[in-house]
Structure 1
Amino acid sequence: MAKIVLINPRFSVSFWSMTHSLDILGREAMVPTAALSLLAALTPPEHEVRLLDEAVEPLDWEAIAGADLVGLTGMIVQRERMREIATQVKALGKFLVVGGPWITVQEDYLAGLADVVFVGEADQTWPQFLAEWAEGNHPARYEQAERTDMTTLPAPRLDLLKLDGYLQGSVQVSRGCPFLCEFCDIIVTFGRQPRVKAADQVIAELDEWRRAGFGSVFLVDDNLIGNRKALLPILDRIAAWQREHRYIVSLHTEASLNLADDAELLERFVAANIRTVFVGIESPNPAALLETRKFQNVDRRQPRGEPDAEAAASFILDRIHRIQGKGIKVTCGLILGFDSDTPDIFESHRRFIAKTGILQVMVGLLAAIPKTPLYERLRREGRLDEEDFSAFGTNVVPVGMGREQLTRGFLDLIAEVYEPAAYFDRLDDLYIRRRFYDHAEAVRVPNIPRWLRAKYLLISWSFTSWLLVRLLWRVEVKDLRGFYLKRLLNYVSHRPYPMRVLDYVMESVCHYHFYRFSRDMAQGRTGVVNTM
């Protein structure tokens, strides 16, 4: 038997970290990293496994020192902390194995520190390594010959996680994406043929999160709708499960924009109680979308030739509003720095965002991740900055403007997007003018008995009061506290569906993180954090 410690490093403050909001909500992290609990489930029972997620608790160096084997994972934004931890682990003389998204694309990042590297999926290679390691005969690099069959995966070991530190649970339904986006590493890691779990697996995992007391679960797929045929029966099972449990668990996920073109799929999302979907919009600039092979965001009916920027933006806006019209909140990613982007892209993005009604907009700089088609193209063109931590926030040398101009425009745009008035104007457009949630309420509410609706309402009002007090207490800027309260009172005056008052307060809590994060960057209190 071996003592195994698996580590997930903490995140720096970023768009996704939600640090300033989590402080108000009394949690340490948004969701657990799926890799740790899955690897634990894949570990033969004769081994003792300890999971250490630095996002929710300090690393236990005594446990690490006593381990026979230490595993380390991490994404791109965690790479600096990965190196720090790896250095400390090796100073203790421990055997270190590393894997995950960053090591998959930058295999030599921890050269001289990692004893074994796992590239890509490790569902088959992890048990294989453990057997070979026990025999004292193993290679230094593992890569699966075949993609994982998702139906063979065990349920993650939630019992090994510090669950009270997370705001949401996490379930992975599928891996892979059928599209060709030039900058994306998902198709490098998981391939272009989406593989899907069985419905029974998904329901079992949702049930485990429900029993653990979680009312919100993130479906962490990079594109949930990548395999529509396989997804439909799963959504039907989830919808039945939601009706059985009276919609006690809200779901959130990521999907491509073509979701809006599938009325049947949209209705299945509503029935499954999927409340939020993150969409990679990237740009309203059609030339940029074609350049980066984001064809799913382009209207193929337009005549060939110079793309019409206004028509392209309208095409995307229409699809965003279709999704919102079903009661599903849209969040999105936008990118600056494509080859076709010129200095007017900042104003173009600003106008576009204002029209969308999208509250949480992840604006990032185009970055070239190793092994992606973009990275290989820019390497050939001599346009890669090889410094790991560039002062400009990206390793891409742009062609449409100078690097300083691109970075400054990025910082200014983020700050403006999260100015209180701009954010709450989008919020009120969505919640007051369009009452986007009406359709979803009409689908779900009739399935909830009146007595239970009353109970939900009492719980909602109680939590709303607690959350509002926490928000006003934690926000240090007096004018901002007053602004939040004023906009909430205005919302209530429009007589919304009562349960949505909690949502409005929650959106205010979310705003505080984005406001702090964007202002700290724009005013130079932190470095340039480019969320990829």
Structure 2
Amino acid sequence: MKLGLISPKGVCMGSDDNQRRTKQIYSKLVGMETLEELMSCPNSPLLTIAAIVQDYFTEIKFIDEEVETIDFNESYDLVAMSFMTQQASRAFELAKKYKEMGVYTCAGGMHPTNSPDETIKYFDTVFIGEGEVTWIEFMEDFKRQSPKKIYQNVDEIDMEKVPVPRFDLLKLDAYKTIPIQISRGCPHNCEFCASTKVYGPKYRHKSVERILEEVDLVTSLKPNIQIYFTDDNMLVNERFSKKLLTELCKRKIRWMSHTDIGVAEHEEILKLLHKSGCSKLVIGFESIEPNSLKHLERWKYKKYKHYEEYIAKIQSYGVGVWGTFIVGLDSDERSIFQKVVDFALDNNLYGAMISVPTPFPGSKLYERLEEEDRILTKYWGDYTLWNVVVRPKKMSVKELENGFEYVLTSVYSIENRMKRLNHFKRIYTNLMRNQNV
């Protein structure tokens, strides 16, 4: 049997009008390399599925629509897709086409888990939750020609039982960054986040030995590749983090990941980050407007007063902070746009990912805005975080669109890129000087 694993186009897509507008905005920006690295990263769950079911197939092919075109003349016994909300509209189109061709179709991932009733209208089988156990159940049923429409896992998967992903299936020359997932779960419960419904609040991780095995495999396939640890909150467990970073210091790798601002409170971790190959950390600040932050997540609201201090501390160790911000939240006035620009520049952030409120299915934000009848479209391709898909409370849609563009073009001007580069040049010079003392 032959299996096709497809990651649908959509990470940067949107509808035609929105896509054109987004491209126009981003064509003006300078220094967006980190965002490009994140957005062009291949789909990690599909590579794990390939490892789970490899004994059932004589051939498995991984297709990433962001870097290659699908050949619909190629035949498969089964096609499986894993996708986020912004990829869902395209995934539904592909499922329809493959079903017309007589191919059995499966779907899993963030959007299918949070919107199974919608997804099953397009796919033969939908997986809800983590799929390490249910995929084996499905394959046995599929062999007996009696697959079910829904396979649901409600248990937390032991991360040690997650197989090593099939990185060898990737067209490695197409990527600057390769994903490795070392943990699942995040203790925070942000209103906009749909991930906790899939992975839960408990932080679970692979052993350091298993992680090193995956790191070594990736670097053996493509030396000098940057690794993206795709965890929601990689450094939340201090003891585990120190053990892992100490081992990574023995390997010459480059990596980035997500964590929360609380990492600044752990000196020993900070000392190990740059030595271990960490170049930047993506940290969700979400808002610099206290009232907005209070409604998003109480833990982050309590840390708000330390934001500037902690950014300076983390970056003093040679690790860039890539901050994420949402503009146009319910408590935001039009003044929020200049405030975000000033905050990013005054604190010499390595980078900033600016987004607008996006109610992903499965999140508390979706439930609230659906109840308030403020969702403007459910064409999922527009849920890129950059297109306005909800009616703002204290500004018009047009004001939010214009403000979003203003923040991006201000932060990513040539002048401000040079300011950031000079700031980090001074940091690295000081680090080298101190090392040589």
Equivalent residue number for residue 52 of structure 2: 42
Q: Where does 1:441-520 land on structure 2 (aligned, <5 Å)? A: none
Cα-to-partner distance string for 1:154-174 (whole Å, 9 max, x where unaligned): 111122221111112221111
Per the normalisation by structure 2, the TM-score is: 0.88
Equivalent residue number for residue 402 of structure 1: 396
Match of 1:101 among 106, 110, 114: 110
SS of aligned partner of 1:271: coil
Match of 1:175 among 177, 184, 188: 184
Counterpart residue identity of residue 361, structure 2 = P
In 1, distance between residues paired with 2:121 and 2:194?
25
Equivalent residue number for residue 252 of structure 1: 256
Q: 1:363 Cα shift?
A: 0.5
Q: 1:35 Cα shift?
A: 1.4
SS of aligned partner of 1:62: coil
Q: Where does 1:120-519 land on structure 2 (aligned, <5 Å)? A: 120-215=129-224, 216-239=226-249, 241-242=250-251, 247=252, 249-296=253-300, 298-299=302-303, 312=304, 315-388=306-379, 393-431=387-425, 434-436=426-428, 438-439=430-431
Distance 1:4-1:197 versus aligned 2 partners, 3 A rule: same
Per the normalisation by structure 1, the TM-score is: 0.73
Q: 1:142 Cα shift?
A: 1.4
Count of matched residue pairs: 418
- The farther-off stretch of 284-293 and 53-62 is 53-62
Greater gyration radius: 1
Equivalent residue number for residue 463 of structure 1: none
Equivalent residue number for residue 499 of structure 1: none
Conservation of the 8 A alpha-carbon contact between 1:281 and 1:297 = no
- The farther-off stretch of 192-201 and 395-404 is 395-404
SS of aligned partner of 1:169: strand
Cα-to-partner distance string for 1:459-518 (whole Å, 9 max, x where unaligned): xxxxxxxxxxxxxxxxxxxxxxxxxxxxxxxxxxxxxxxxxxxxxxxxxxxxxxxxxxxx
Match of 1:112 among 110, 118, 121: 121
Q: 1:125 Cα shift?
A: 1.0
Q: 1:290 Cα shift?
A: 0.8
Q: 1:22 Cα shift?
A: 11
In 2, distance between residues paired with 1:399 and 1:229?
43
Conservation of the 8 A alpha-carbon contact between 2:32 and 2:412 = no
Distance 1:124-1:437 versus aligned 2 partners, 3 A rule: farther
Q: 1:60 Cα shift?
A: 2.7
Q: 1:386 Cα shift?
A: 4.4
Select the structure with the greater relative contact order (CA < 8 A; seq sep ≥ 6): 2
Q: 1:436 Cα shift?
A: 4.3
- The farther-off stretch of 140-149 and 407-416 is 407-416
Cα-to-partner distance string for 1:243-300 (whole Å, 9 max, x where unaligned): xxxx2x111111101111111121232332211111111111111111111523534x
Q: 1:440 Cα shift?
A: 7.3
Counterpart residue identity of residue 356, structure 2 = L
- The farther-off stretch of 289-298 and 324-333 is 289-298
Conservation of the 8 A alpha-carbon contact between 2:9 and 2:87 = yes
In 2, distance between residues paired with 1:29 and 1:292?
24
Counterpart residue identity of residue 71, structure 2 = D
Q: 1:223 Cα shift?
A: 0.9
Conservation of the 8 A alpha-carbon contact between 2:285 and 2:300 = no
Equivalent residue number for residue 55 of structure 1: 66
Equivalent residue number for residue 79 of structure 2: 70
Cα-to-partner distance string for 1:212-262 (whole Å, 9 max, x where unaligned): 2331211111110233333332222222x32xxxx2x11111110111111
Conservation of the 8 A alpha-carbon contact between 1:169 and 1:214 = no
Q: 1:315 Cα shift?
A: 2.4
Cα-to-partner distance string for 1:389-418 (whole Å, 9 max, x where unaligned): 669923332222222222221122222222
Q: 1:91 Cα shift?
A: 2.1
Q: 1:102 Cα shift?
A: 2.0
Counterpart residue identity of residue 121, structure 1 = E
Counterpart residue identity of residue 101, structure 2 = L
Distance 1:233-1:297 versus aligned 2 partners, 3 A rule: farther
